[in-house]
Every structure is written in structure tokens, then in C-alpha cells.
Chain A
Amino acid sequence: MASRRKLLKTAALAFFASPLLRQLAQAQQQLDATRRQRLIVMFTELGYTPHLWSQKESGSDFILKTSLLPLQDHKQEMLILENLSTNKTMAARTKVRNLHHQGFSAMFTGSVALPSSVDGKTHGPWGPSIDHLAAQVLHDPKVHNPVHFGVQTGGAVMSSRTISWAADGKPEYHQNNPGKIFDQYFAGLLSDGNASEEERAQRLKKSVIDDVYADLQDLMRSVDSETKKRLEADLESFRQVEKVVIPDLVNRPKIELNQADYQGLNPSNKGDRIKLMRLQMKLMVAGFKADLFRVSTLQVGYGNGGTNLQWMPRGFSARGKHWHGEVSHRNAGNGVRNTQEQCDTWTAEILAVYAEVVNELIHELKSIPEVGQPDRSLWDNTTLLWASEMGRPEHKTNSCLYTLFGSAGGVLKTGQHLILPPNTPTNQAQLTLLRALGHKTPSFGFPEVSGGKVISEMLASA
């Protein structure tokens, strides 16, 4: 309750009172929209069956197979990269090798677990992951950090629990409960269409946050340096969320989510798993539409496959366990091994289920006009990367696939299936994507792996 806040309040009121300032803000918004890009990083666990994913014919012709068939409508927006590998990343700085865990972090951070600079223990990849790097260039500085949607994520080992790392030793976990994401970003923000009343409410919210800043700064004056540091971190959190709590009125998200929509859903059940994916994507779309965030991740399962998919046939889950043992290890229990062909088919079928939901997401984004660009859709400014922690499910990390949807604003050349030289490091593909999104980073992950090389065939200008 300090007098300093009066200045803040005055400034806030003046902003809302001045038509000229408001026009300037709208102009800035339109300018911003012309360069707005988004990124979705999607992970599904335990690899692919490459020959049931996509098959290159001649030239730019390729045929979508079982897993990708539901995405046939978007074939010309796809860029499929074959022959990627995380082997060089995994071997770069450590001899310890685990295909699930290190492959997981290598795929999304271009690095693997090393002794952390935080406490000297080995507990996470070098980081940051691609979503965080992309957010550095895609986010308006005021919008929120990448938002992480999850479906049955978890796992005992930190390095394979999440694809998102803000930095070394700073994992960011995925929220499996759509209700919690709704509460955080959307609840209480429903518009009643009464702009003047809303504007007054926004003014109040703004001045309340100003009070919080002022009170925190007051408290900081009379505490020791350690407590002051904690309070400064708290203050920063309030600064970061200001945009979420006070979204601009034009883009305010109109979304409802009832507990009955998500409560009691069992992600091991096929129908419920799809429902959960849909709900998470619905929230993602609402967040994009409101420009609450521009980078998000969707993680389905985690990097060692603890998932129990109850709808799969006997043999797949013969021991009541999970995908990892039965498919990656082909272990059907009682000493019996599943056939490779059977495992390939199961994997392809599961991924086809996910592809169907991705198809819905893309259609939804295509149906919503971009703010300030009525001739473009949200999808026109969105790139989606779909990857797993390995190639073939049986622990192959030299046959990895990246599947990109969207051209990063026309920079990437879509409608092609690229067969890259064997063992092309995934770091190169990530670096190319980041450059396409406007990042100036000289390399991605361990610099010695990608060496600053981009994959020129991925680019439209090539």
C-alpha cells in the first residue's frame, strides 16, 4: 500500500482513457500478427513402424501408410524426414547409453544427461529443449512460457518424464488434467459481451496487480537478502502472468469446460484416451486463439513406455504390463515372444489413432481466422513437429523420423518425404526448424553434433 502505486494506477487509467494510445496498441497488434508464428511439439512414445508410416516413391511422391492415413488431407503440408539418428548425440559426451532415456532427451534437446551445473548430480539433459528455444523468438515477451499438455505422462526417471527442459536441471512437466489447465488459463475469463463493464473490470485487475507489485516491493525493503531473492522471484511470477490474468478484450477466449467432460477418464481406455487428447487440443487451440501462448507441447506417454493400453489384444498386454515390454522387447510372457510383424502392426495401429486426433486439430486450426489477418487461419501460422524417442520400437535410434506439418511461414518446403543420409543427427533437423522459425542460434544441443549444419533440402529456398 505505497504511494508509488498511485503513479501506476494513473498510468493504467490514462492508457484506457486515451483513444490515440488504444489505436496505437491496435496497430501494434496488427503488425505483430503479420509475423506471428506458433509451434506445437508433439511426442508419442516408443517409436514408429517406418514402413507403415510413409513410403517415398519417386521425386516428391510419397504414399501415406497405416499410421498416417488419417492425415491424408494434409499430405501437401507434411515434411517427413527419414534416417535421422540420435546416436551421435548420445555418444558425444558420455559412454553411458540408454536408448529410451537418452534417446528421449537427445530427440528434443539435442543433448543428453550430464552432471548438472546445479548440484553436480546427473539428472537431466543439457537443455534447453526445442520448445523453449522456439519460444525465445515466437513469444511476445509478455505472453506465457510454453504450455505443456499431457496425456498419461509420468515415469520414474526424470530424464524421460518430460520432453521440455527450460535449462539444465530445469524440467517442465506436462499437465495431464485438462481441468487444471482450464483453471489456470481460462476459468473466470468468459466474456459476457459487455465491453464497457469488461473494460472497467480489466482496469480494476490491472490496479490490483499494481498493488501486488507495490506491496511486494515494500516487503522487500525490510527483509534479509535471501528472503528478498525469494520475493523477487515471486514478483517475477506476477509479472509473467499479467497477460494471462488481463487478456486483451478482443481476443478473449470463449471456452467452457465442465468437470464431467474430463473427470473419471481413464487414459488406458481407447475412447477416454482420445477424449483426453481432444480436450487438451481444444484448450491448446483456445490458448492460440487468445494469444495466451504461441508454443506448446503435447506429450502422450513418456520415454520408457509405462503405458498400459487396455484396448490392445492379448499378447500386446499379456502380462498386464505395457507397451514397452511387449512391443519393444517383444515379450509376450511365459517365455513367448511376439512376432516382429505383429509388433509393427500394433505400433502402426496405435499411432493411427493419434493421427486421427491430429487431423482434427489441424482442421480446427484451419477453421479459425488469425487475429488481424482475416485471410489467414491459425493453422497458416502454425508448425507441428511429431516425434518419438526412437525409430523402430525395438530400441532403434538410427531410423528415427520427424514429421513436420506446416511450413513455418513458407520457409520450409512441405509436401515431401526426404530420405536423408543414414545417421543424420536429429540436431541438424531441429536446428533447421529453429532457423526457419527465426532463431539465430548457431547450433542446437551439443554443438559438436550438428556443427551448425542445417538440412538445406528442408527449406523452400533450396
Chain B
Amino acid sequence: MESALSFRLFRKGSCWLGFVGALSACGKNTEGSFRSLQNEDRLVVIDSNVKVDSLPRGEGDAVTKSISEDAVLEAASALVNQSGGPPEFSLSEGCQNQGDLSLSRSEVAPVKLLSGEQYRNSLRHILGAVPDGLSQFDSVAGKTGFPNATEDLLVSQPLAITLLKNAEKISKSDELMMVFPCNTQNTDYKQCAESRVLELAAKAFRRPLSDLEASELRQTFQNSDIHVPGVSGIQAIAHRLFASPHFFYQQRAKPTDSQELKRIKIAHELSFAVWQEPASSELLEEFRSHDLTKAGSQKLFIAKLLQDPRARRMIKEFLLHWLEIDKAGEMAKDPILFTGFDAAVFQSLEDDLVQTAARKILAENATLVSLLTDSLDVPESDLFPIETFADSRLGLLQHPTFIASHSHSNSAAPVLMGLFLREKLMCHKIPAPPADFSEVEQSLVLPENPTLRDAYSLRKDLPQCASCHQMMEPLGLAFDQWDAVGRLQSPEYLKRITLGDTFFSVKGLSGNFADATDMIAKLVSTQEVRMCFVNKLASYVKAKRLTKEDLCAAESRVVSHQKEGVPIIDIITESLVRPTL
């Protein structure tokens, strides 16, 4: 029976051949249990716990008779959604609709390494400028997709070297001496320098020093200064302070801290999250009488942070990693096809996208829907003009920055674009390409002067490629009107394609779409995409992988704002608040 069914499937339904084979290529077990797959009047029933290989003959016949390309696509989509698809959250099960994203904030890790930007900004905060010659370090995106997750921020060996060497360079910098206006010729030099040392330490550690710390610093300073007159004592202390874990780790408030210490630590934690730098003394002073362990006070504090232009840093870091557009350093387009489009042009476009989005989010109460569907203006440029096309280019995903980031050097890349949409907009996981993918790519025989659709039509017939590419390329091909830098394709190219000719299927939505604008509008109307966005944003703001509790809260926020969408600034605020201490 088993072999007969397999034979029928493979012999009669060529699509099934691709379907089953592709499942295997996607890392799925072809003997895994399938859910019911229903495609309107073509009913394809596979019992949820029945193995494909052991289906009764009758049902197998039904499958083979009713099979069609659309059904296969939808079936494959459902399967990816089921076992590869949204792994980061599962809706509703076990949730007790909590409307506040802050509720699980109590479990933040007590210690967090500063990011590269936070490290530099902290130095600027203390010394007025970042000394020349320091080695830079940047954090790498980890499992959350963002570079700020506490669990991913570790001191690697190269980073340990950088931190130690930077501390030494800081200790010898002019900037350090500028914060020590003590005259070595004056009789009160030692007293002056000692008090400045203690101030410097408190600034570096971002909290008052303990008595033991102060006493040790005094002793070290005095000993150093006796042996090495002049500024060397200060340098020795500074070397220690900037190499200290108390400087390069952010220490969060603990229940055992004093009330004042909690206030200071929470203020710095929130400020690091939004401004990427410690809280300013002015802000600390302004909130001196507030109890920042309380959610209400924290919301006021956060609102203050978000009103400041420095809040753009947070928006920028989120967008660069969520949209995967942090590519100025590696942006290289074909110099003949795209003469003049260089890293500088890309950087100015990227700046425009970030500024536009930050304005919409921070000042205009933007939601995900408005961010991805409102009209946008592409900045005018003499170096490399790109037209806005106000009627057809809507939302951030049609901004040239985004399109150029998800394209090849010489052509658009529907696979990359589709991969982004699946992974970052829908939170699906698409398996990595098989090891021999480039061999297969090499073997494709394309017609002369092919369109991007020609390549897809070949891939979707290959069993080892089909199911994953069917997940990605129909979505990516919606952008086929744009070239590799986001300009309109040539009239000749546009004549040869039909934008709406690909079928797509995602959870709760299937069909064709007119173009990218139409597709994005449809996608963003789904609960799945909205959930995914809240999931991404909250995990970035909270700087950790979300727990089930977080996800339940995210779900309830989406459900309660289903029509208009959740204002992004609200998600940020709720995710930041840490009410339980």
C-alpha cells in the first residue's frame, strides 16, 4: 500500500513530486504529520496524524485527482507555517490576554555589556569627546536579529583586547587631562586631583562609589603619585577605571539596592535603551523626586527621552537591523549599469529613510500600517536621481534604500526580497539553501536575456528548490517593477513581465496581487504580520528574546488594536517600562 501510494503520487502528480521532494530539502520530515489542507472546492484532506506514506488508497486518489499547482503552493505554505513557520510565537494557547507589554519586565538580566555605540557615547558623556585612536567595536546581531540582546553581548577575546587597550589610550589622552583642571604647581594639587579622581570614578561607574571603592581609589592614587609624580597617578587610575567591568557593563537595578540606587540605575537603563548613552545629570536632577520604580514615573521619564532628538538613535538601530539596510560599507552596484550609485549615495538614502521613519514614529504616532503604506518622498539627488512615483511607491519597503539592500549588484533579487518578507515581516523561518545550491544555479539554462520570472519558473520545477522558493519568490517578484537600486525598470523590461501573475499564499491570505504596494497592504492587514512586528520591536526594546508571557501581551495588544494598528511609540514605551522591582 505504501509503495503504491508513493508511486501514484510521484507518477500522476508531478507537482506532488516537487512538493514532497522539496519538503525534504527544506529540512522537513516527509513522514511528518500534516494538517488538513483545504483549497476551496478542491478538497485535499490529509488526516492530521496520518503519515503521507501510509495514506489509504482512496484518499491518495483524492489527492492525486485534485492536485494543482495552486494547491501545492498553498499546501507547501501551510506546511512551512506549521513546522518551519512562525516559531517565535504561537497565538493564544495558554495566554491570558495581558494588555501591557511591560508586565514581564521583572526578569531582565542584572548585568549587560555596553554596545559599541553605548561605550563611545559613555566616553563622550564623561570626557566631552571620544579620544582619538580608540579601536571601535560593534556588536553583531544575534538570535533576536538585533545586536543589543543581553545574552548575545559577550566579551570575546578580541573585544577583551580592545577594552584593555582603549583604557590605556584613554588614560593617556588629552581629553582625560581636560577634565583634570588641577595645577601640579599649586599646593592643593593633590587634594584637587583626588577629588576629581573620585568624581571621574563615579561618572565612569554611573553610580555613587561605595566607601570601600573610594578608599581604595584614594590609596591607589596616593601610592601612584608618590612613585610617579605629576599626571601619571591620574593616568594610572583612569587606566583602571576605563578597563573596569563597572564601566563597560551596565548594571541594572536589583531589589536589594537602595531606593536612590534603583532610581539612578533605572534612569541609566532607560536612557541607554533610548539614547544609547547614560542619563544626563540634568535629567537625573529633573526626576530626583520621582520614584522610578513605579510604572507611572517611568512612563514620564520615557516620554521625556522620546521627545529628545537622541531618541532617533534607538529608532535608527532598530530599523537598520529590522530592515537589514545597514549596508553602506558593502554597497557595491554595477558601475556600468548604475553609474554614480556609490556608497555615499546609498548612505544619503539610508539617512533619509531613517529620518523619515523616525519622524513618523516619534512625532506622528505612526503605526506599522502607516509606516509601510503611506506615501514617501525619495530625496532629490543630482548625483543619482531616483524618482518618487508618488502613486505607486508607498511605504518604507519601496524606499530605494530598502530595495538596494535586498538586491544583487546588477539586478533585483526576488529571492532575497522574499526571504526578508518571510523572515522579518512574517517571522517565518526559511531553511538555509542546500549545500549544492550554487551547483544547481549553475546548471539552470536560462533563455537569452531572461527576466527574473524566467529564473523562478525554472527553480519552482526543481524538487530540491521548489518549496522554499515558492515561499519567497512570488513575494519578491512583486517588486519586479524596481531595479537593483529602486529605480523604475526600463519600459522594455516592464513590457515583458506581468506584475500580478504570481500566486502567493500566507497564513490567512492567498491570491494574486497587482504590485508591491498591493501586496504590502494585504500583508500588513494580517494579524500575523502585525504580531511579528510587535514581536520584533519588543524583543529589540527589551534587549532579549521574548518569553511566552511577553508574546501573550504582544498578541493582546495587536488584537485590541486590530483595525488601526498599535502606535509604535506605545509599543516602545510599554516594552521599556519595568514596573516590578
- Chain A positions within 8 Å of B, measured between CB atoms, are 1, 96, 98, 100-102, 113, 121, 123, 144-145, 156-160, 183-185, 187-188, 200, 204-205, 207-209, 211-212, 215-216, 219, 222-224, 226-227, 230-231, 233-234, 237-238, 240-241, 244-245, 304, 320, 324-325, 329, 331
Contact = CB atoms under 8 A, between A and B. Distances in A.
A226 B109 contact: yes
B243 interface: yes
A244 B159 CA distance: 12
Contact of A230 (B151, B228, B239, B256): B151
B155 A98 contact: no
Interface of A is mostly: helix
Nearest to B443: A329
Nearest to B247: A215
B32 to A, nearest CB: 15
Interface centre among B135, B151, B161, B212 (most CB of A within 10 A): B161
A323 to B, nearest CB: 12
B164 A241 contact: yes
A244 B213 CA distance: 29
A222 B254 contact: yes
B245 A208 contact: no
Contacts of B442: 324-325, 329, 331
B109 A234 contact: no
Given A184-B162, A324-B438, A237 B169 contact: no
Given A205-B168, A237-B154, 4 more contacts: A1-B210, A101-B436, A157-B432, A230-B111
A245 B161 contact: yes
Contact of A188 (B111, B165, B212, B410): B165
Contacts of A219: 111, 245, 249, 251
B161 A244 contact: yes
B159 A1 contact: no
Contacts of B158: 184
Given A1-B216, A183-B135, A208 B164 contact: yes
B245 A212 contact: yes
Interface of B: 27, 109-111, 113, 135, 151, 154-162, 164-165, 167-169, 210, 212-213, 216-217, 228, 236, 239-240, 243-246, 249, 251, 254, 256, 410, 432-433, 435-439, 442
Contacts of A227: 109-111
Given A223-B110, A325-B442, A159 B243 contact: no
A208 B154 contact: no
A241 B110 contact: no
Nearest to A104: B435
B435 A159 contact: yes
Given A157-B433, A208-B240, A304 B109 contact: no
Contact of B159 (A121, A209, A237): A237
B239 A204 contact: yes
B438 A231 contact: no
Nearest to B214: A1
B198 to A, nearest CB: 12
Contact of B155 (A96, A209, A234): A234
Contacts of A160: 435
Given A1-B213, A224-B110, A234 B154 contact: yes
Contacts of B254: 222
A332 to B, nearest CB: 13
26 contacts: A1-B212, A98-B436, A98-B439, A145-B157, A156-B433, A156-B437, A156-B438, A158-B432, A160-B435, A183-B135, A184-B158, A184-B162, A185-B161, A187-B165, A208-B240, A209-B164, A219-B249, A222-B110, A222-B256, A223-B109, A227-B109, A234-B155, A237-B154, A240-B157, A240-B160, A324-B442
Given A187-B135, A215-B245, A324-B438, A230 B165 contact: no
A133 to B, nearest CB: 19
B25 to A, nearest CB: 11
A101 B433 CA distance: 12
A362 to B, nearest CB: 28
Contact of B169 (A188, A231, A233, A331): A188
A159 B434 CA distance: 11
B168 A238 contact: no
Given A1-B212, A211-B243, A331-B442, A241 B161 contact: yes
Contact of A96 (B154, B161, B210, B435): B435
Given A157-B435, A159-B435, A238 B135 contact: no
Nearest to A324: B438
A179 to B, nearest CB: 10
A184 B158 CA distance: 6
A245 B161 CA distance: 7
10 smallest CB-CB distances across A and B, nearest first, come from A234-B155, A101-B435, A98-B435, A237-B160, A98-B436, A215-B245, A1-B213, A241-B160, A237-B155, A238-B160
Given A184-B158, A324-B438, A245 B135 contact: no
Given A211-B240, A211-B244, A230 B154 contact: yes
- Of the listed residues A1, A121, A224, A325, the one surrounded by the most CB atoms of chain B closer than 10 A to its CB is A1
A29 B212 CA distance: 40
Given A159-B435, A304-B438, A237 B168 contact: no
Contacts of A233: 154-155
A244 B165 CA distance: 11
Nearest to A226: B109
Nearest to A215: B245
Contacts of A211: 240, 243-244
A160 B217 CA distance: 51
Given A144-B157, A331-B442, A208 B169 contact: no
A245 B162 contact: no
A355 to B, nearest CB: 27
Please indicate which of the listed interface residues A96, A204, A209, A244 has the most CB atoms of chain B within 10 Å of its own CB: A204
A212 B239 CA distance: 11
Contacts of B27: 121
Contacts of A156: 433, 437-438
A207 B329 CA distance: 39
Given A1-B213, A241-B164, A216 B245 contact: yes
A208 B111 contact: no
Contacts of A207: 240
Given A205-B164, A219-B245, A241 B157 contact: yes
Given A102-B435, A215-B245, A237 B156 contact: yes
B160 A208 contact: no
Nearest to B215: A1
A219 B432 CA distance: 39
